């Protein structure tokens, strides 16, 4: 067991509170699906609708607070929904566009270390332009001052979206360096679990746009980075334990919908 008793307690409370809050505030979508309901039953349709709704905010209601609970013991600072910065130099904009153009035409392979070096060289050159970047899902500051900016994505993100993901990662670096040109900053995509297990995660759709070794962490790579070795397996055990504990509450909640139409 790599997690401390306090971390385990915190994560357990996050899961209990999140699920109970969902039960208290959830109203099934009013959409009528008469064929599905008659075939499968009202209770199963209610469960299907609930799971779909839970999935849409699993990141903010569960993954983000769990990540913070893990990181508190291993990083100097951990926060969620942070702004990387509000300005980027015109020269950094030019460098980022050049990187994107070369990647899009396969003129170069992604190399995050080199890309950051190029941005750092010009991060305060030219006109400083205001930008409104999407918030960083998880921001970690290591004890040595290194900054890690994580963008949490769904388990199967659209392959066509990786071009915009890449641009966002580069812009977050540029915005951070605009304020602190000597910062050691890394921006990464995090995918909380591997839907292909036990097979390896299907990374080929990202190759050519993301530096897979330095810009992507999937499942145990992400959770173990934040919480230490074996944190991912410990997390799965916690989720299972809380699921068993709350099963009577879950069953009671869905029993109100009955089995018939």
What is the pLDDT, as a whole number, of residue 261?
45
Is the pLDDT confidence value at 94 over 60? yes
Is 234 within a domain? no
120 and 168 both lie in a single domain: yes
Is 217 within a domain? yes
Residue ranges with strand state E in 170-256: 185-191, 216-218
In tens, the pLDDT along 5-53 reads 999 999 999 999 999 998 888 776 666 788 888 888 887 888 888 888 8
pLDDT band at 247 (very low <50, low <70, confident <90, very high): very high
81 and 70 both lie in a single domain: no
pLDDT band at 255 (very low <50, low <70, confident <90, very high): confident
In tens, the pLDDT along 98-114 reads 999 999 999 999 999 99
Percent of the chain at pLDDT exceeding 70: 96
Q: What angle do CA 104, 151, 237 make, to 5 degrees?
A: 130
Counted domains in the chain? 2
- How much is the average pLDDT of 182-199? 94
Is 3 within a domain? yes
Residue ranges with strand state E in the chain: 77-82, 87-89, 128-130, 136-141, 147-152, 185-191, 216-218
Name the residue with tokens 């290591």.
Answer: 142
Is 54 within a domain? yes
Is the pLDDT confidence value at 260 over 70? no
221 and 196 both lie in a single domain: yes
Is the pLDDT confidence value at 258 over 80? no
128 and 222 both lie in a single domain: yes
Is the pLDDT confidence value at 259 over 60? no
> How much is the mean pLDDT over the chain?
91
Alpha-carbon gap, residue 167 to 110, rounded angstroms: 12
In tens, the pLDDT along 112-149 reads 999 999 999 999 999 999 999 999 999 999 999 999 99
56 and 118 both lie in a single domain: no
111 and 138 both lie in a single domain: yes
153 and 54 both lie in a single domain: no
189 and 96 both lie in a single domain: yes
Is 235 within a domain? no
Q: Which domain holds residue 181?
A: 77-227
């Amino acid at each position: 067991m790599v997690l401390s008793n306090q971390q385990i307690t915190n994560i357990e409370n996050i899961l209990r509170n999140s699920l109970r809050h969902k039960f208290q505030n959830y109203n099934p979508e009013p959409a009528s699906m008469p064929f599905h309901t008659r075939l499968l039953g009202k209770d199963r349709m209610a469960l299907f609708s609930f799971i779909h709704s839970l999935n849409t905010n699993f990141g903010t209601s569960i993954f983000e607070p769990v990540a913070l609970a893990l990181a508190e013991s291993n990083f100097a600072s951990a926060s969620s929904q942070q702004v990387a910065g509000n300005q980027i130099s015109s020269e950094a904009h030019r460098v980022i566009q050049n990187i994107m153009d070369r990647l899009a035409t396969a003129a170069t392979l992604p190399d995050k270390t080199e890309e950051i070096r190029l941005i750092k060289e010009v991060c305060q050159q030219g006109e400083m332009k205001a930008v409104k970047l999407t918030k960083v899902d998880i921001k970690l500051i290591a004890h040595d001052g290194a900054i890690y900016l994580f963008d949490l994505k769904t388990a199967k993100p659209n392959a066509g979206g990786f071009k915009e993901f890449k641009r966002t990662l580069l812009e977050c670096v540029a915005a951070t360096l605009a304020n602190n040109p000597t910062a050691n900053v890394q921006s990464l995509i995090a995918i909380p679990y591997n839907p292909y297990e036990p097979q390896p995660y299907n990374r080929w759709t990202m190759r050519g746009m993301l530096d897979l070794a330095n810009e992507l962490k999937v499942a145990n790579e992400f959770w173990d980075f934040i919480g230490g070795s074996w944190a991912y397996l410990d997390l799965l055990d916690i989720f299972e334990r809380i699921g068993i504990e709350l099963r009577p509450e879950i069953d009671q909640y869905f029993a109100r919908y009955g089995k018939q139409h």
